[in-house]
A and B are shown apart, each in its own frame.
Chain A
């Protein structure tokens, strides 16, 4: 195969190919898995690497971050259990918890992440506020360039919430799909990197940096939980696609650690340019009628439309005028009315972005005028 940009040609030789065309172990093919364990160690220095730790650091490959998150929810939550998340979060995660019959309680957040005071209040007064309901077991959050909000948790915020997770014995399900797409460097340290207890289950993925079609991702965290994931994978997707794993291991070997970081930085740079472009378009078209925070990473702009409580109508009208956006209601646990809209700037050209924002502005003004 040939790698874009540098034109080099990589080989998966017959020996490697044979291994990877045959059935593999559910945690992933060993050569790639070891590579990825090394990567996690270098990036996060998990405190639980010591083999004596009951929550010893382990890693299992999954069919995408969604697959790992879905397994995590299924392992940790029963019908009637509670998970905590931000007020606006990833819709697929919400449908996963709904399938289990578990409940999601939204905790207020700001541009640095979940508010610790709020989280503490919710947990400390849980029995009074929700008599008869089981205490929450997990926090689910997208910690870098969150979907849909574009928020990246600050380090201080992560530390504060980790302490609360310790005192209330919660598992933190850290969905870090956009980790490398943080616009600032150095990368903000993960929950995994501070996880002295072994209470963090972390999802990483190659979807945004190499391609989602590969279906290559990892879950890292405490061995007892990952062992259950192995068993689930044993009877479902097993090792995942061996071919894709063969290609990835050769690519990572070709790049080395520094080359890999170089690549993710260039991907990030591209999205940062797009974010700047989208923000400028928003300033030109939407000032005074909507507000937004400049994305700290990723591919989404999270807009609040002023004076409009339910943006569904706006999104419908925009669709009629050939512009597709996503209404904020889809990102709330109970599909509540939302004054927000999510826009992706990942693939749109500057011209189209300008056109789309103009249409949006027109539609918003029509709604606000009512």
Chain B
């Protein structure tokens, strides 16, 4: 794999921070080393001494003074070693990545803890994209990623998707404009990056089938694409066994995978995990060294504490509990739309996650209906254009989230929407 072809000049020019290099020297040096180099403040002065966290089940986790000091001090950019290790073990259990432990220093699997997977995706896009360059994005796609990508002004090539996720046939068609050998030509406009959400798609709720994942991976191999596998709803799949990830089939080291604790443990903690080839993670690392430095030590320590108390098996059990809840919510949501929107809209049943993607049958563009009329009728959805590459184009879609709302309120909400639609059709 030639990784440097994926990175923009800004990213390629990044060097490790001299200060962070020095920190590493100090950390790995003999005890006789006297360091007057780093700008580390004195941890004896930090006022927070220790903490305890009470879990819902009543158990109490302690963060003792020694651990708290480490949590409050500057720490390594890739993440606290214990959390990184825990995540490496989890990734091994769940995905058994083919590039784990290989000797190639560029392709070897590595893990980085970021401030939410959102920041991981942001730093990756900022390392890879260039103005005017082609990038392949599933469409519709997560609005948070569009807000990262759009200001960088690449040429966004939308790849169609349906209830089974991104459509490899359309990907093949779009890529057919180029020849695989174009990947060896630096001046070629061949796209280099493919971004997708394989499970519980945001906004579609779709899950990529294994067959499609294999086809997509083969195409990526043919055209030498880097695949960004954004998978925050992996553990919110409603069917088991979980569909194998793109990471699990990544023999080449071309998948950069984004996991998140947001849907399972806490969105506010801001802890995400990037798993992928060292060569890519290094670019993100250098960027972090010149910006956030590292993910909050306190967040990492608290999350690690919870994970250690659960254990790897406990986490999976917890994930089941969470997925079961969302499954019940999904079923209530489907019941509500079937009751109120049959004949007015169509939708596919989500295979995971928290969103229902609804297409209104008699409305060309949902924007003013959703943002003005529905809001006035006291029901809030997200208009489809928020998830489109071309936000000016009319969209008959809306996204409904069933994560927070009770079944009774879902019923009311869709009733209100149905009433609006019927009023509108009379006009």
Chain A residues near B (Cβ < 8 Å): 1-5, 19-24, 29, 63-64, 66-67, 70, 91-92, 95-96, 98-101, 147, 207-215, 231, 234-244, 247, 251, 263, 266-267, 270-271, 274, 299-300, 322-326, 330, 343-348, 352-353, 355-356, 359
Q: Which residue of A lies closest to B50 (CB)?
A: A2
Contact across chains for B148 and A236 when beta carbons are under 8 A apart: yes
Contact assessment for A236 and B122 in the assembled complex, using a CB-CB cutoff below 8 Å? yes
CB distance from A173 to the nearest CB of B (A): 15
CA distance A370 to B71 in the complex (A): 46
Instruction: Identify 22 residue pairs between A and B in the complex whose beta-carbon atoms are under 8 Å apart, listed by A's number.
Output: A2-B50, A20-B268, A63-B115, A63-B292, A92-B19, A95-B14, A209-B45, A211-B297, A212-B293, A213-B71, A215-B295, A234-B144, A236-B115, A237-B119, A237-B292, A241-B298, A274-B42, A299-B41, A323-B36, A355-B34, A356-B34, A359-B34
> Distance in Å from the Cβ of B51 to the closest Cβ of chain A?
4
Judge whether A64 and B292 touch: CB under 8 Å. Answer: yes
Bound Cα distance from A215 to B293, whole angstroms: 9
Question: Known contacts being A215-B295, A247-B51, is A344 close to B73, with CB within 8 Å?
Answer: no
Q: Are B293's CB and A64's CB within 8 A?
A: yes
B36 touches A348 (CB 8 A): yes
Known A-B contacts A263-B47, A346-B42; the reply to A244 vs B298 at CB < 8 A is yes
Residues of A within 8 A of B291 (CB): 63, 66-67, 70, 96
Q: Whole-angstrom distance between the alpha carbons of A212 and B147 in the complex? A: 29
Partner-contacting stretch, out of B25-33, B239-247, B415-423: B25-33
CB contacts (< 8 Å) of A5 on chain B: these are 47
Of all chain B residues, which has the CB nearest A101?
Answer: B10
Whole-angstrom distance between the Cβ of B192 and the nearest chain A Cβ:
21
Contact of B34 among A92, A244, A348 (CB under 8 A): A348
Most chain B beta-carbon contacts within 10 A, residue among A5, A64, A355: A64
- Asked if B119 and A211 make an inter-chain contact with CB atoms under 8 angstroms apart, the answer reads no
Q: Hey, which chain A residues are within 8 Å of B74, CB to CB?
A: 207, 212-213
Whether A1 touches B50, Cβ cut-off 8 Å, given contacts A235-B148, A240-B270, is: yes
B58 within 8 A of A: no
Bound form: Cα–Cα A263–B47 in Å: 8
Q: Quick one: closest B residue to A3, CB to CB?
A: B47
Is A344's CB under 8 angstroms from B270's CB?
no
CB closest residue in chain A, given B26: A324
Say whether B2 faces chain A, with CB atoms less than 8 Å apart. Answer: no
> Is B70's beta carbon under 8 Å from chain A?
yes
Given contacts A324-B35, A347-B40, contact A211 B292 (CB under 8 A): no
Q: Which chain A residues border B148 with CB–CB below 8 Å?
A: 235-236
Top-6 shortest CB links A-B: A213-B297, A242-B268, A211-B72, A1-B51, A241-B296, A21-B266
Q: Smallest distance from the beta carbon of A235 to chain B beta carbons, Å?
A: 4
* Contact between chains at B269 and A67 (CB < 8 Å): no
Taking the nearest CB of chain B, how far is it from the CB of A301, in angstroms? 8
Across-interface contacts of A263 in B (CB, < 8 A): 47
Across-interface contacts of B49 in A (CB, < 8 A)? 1-4
| Chain B residue at smallest Cβ distance from A1 | B51
Q: Are B298 and A213 in contact (CB under 8 A)?
A: yes
Q: How far is the CA of A99 from the CA of B294 in the complex (A)?
A: 19
Query: Using a CB-CB cutoff of 8 Å, which residues 172-196 of chain B contact chain A?
Result: none
Q: How far is the CB of B332 from chain A (nearest CB, A)?
A: 22
In the complex the two chains form, is A3's CB within 8 Å of B48's CB? Answer: yes
For the complex formed, measure the closest distance between the CB of A201 and the CB atoms of chain B, giving whole angstroms: 16
* Chain B 378-421: CB-based contact to A (< 8 A → 1; otherwise 0): 00000000000000000000000000000000000000000000
Q: How far is it, in angstroms, between the C-alpha of A352 and the C-alpha of B269 when the chains are bound?
A: 39
Chain B residue with the shortest CB-CB distance to A95: B290
Question: By the criterion CB–CB under 8 Å, are B302 and A243 in contact?
Answer: yes
A200 CA / B47 CA spacing, docked (Å): 31
- Say which residue of B14, B19, B39 sits within 8 Å of A99 (CB atoms): B14
A238 CA to B118 CA in the complex, in Å? Answer: 8
Interchain CB contact (< 8 A) of B48 among A98, A100, A207, A247: A247
Within B107-135, the residues touching A (CB, 8 Å) are 115-116, 118-119, 122-123
Q: When chains A and B are docked, how far (Å) is the Cα of A300 from the Cα of B41?
A: 11
Known contacts A214-B72, A214-B297; is-contact A21 B269 (Cβ 8 Å): yes
Q: Tell whether, in the assembled complex, residue B26 and residue A211 are in contact, meaning their CB atoms are under 8 Å apart.
A: no
Contact yes or no, A241 B269, CB < 8 A = yes
Establish whether residues A242 and B42, one from each chain, have CB atoms under 8 Å apart when the complex forms.
no
A129 to B162, CA, bound (A): 61
Q: Are A352 and B268 CB-contacts (below 8 A) given A208-B41, A237-B115, A324-B26? A: no
CA of A348 to CA of B50 in the docked complex: distance in angstroms? 24
On chain A, the residues within 8 Å of B376 by CB distance are none
Q: Which residues of B contact A21 (CB under 8 A)?
A: 266-269
Q: Bound state CA distance, A50 and B19, in angstroms?
A: 41
Tell me how far the C-beta of A265 lies from the nearest C-beta in chain B, rounded to whole angstroms. 12
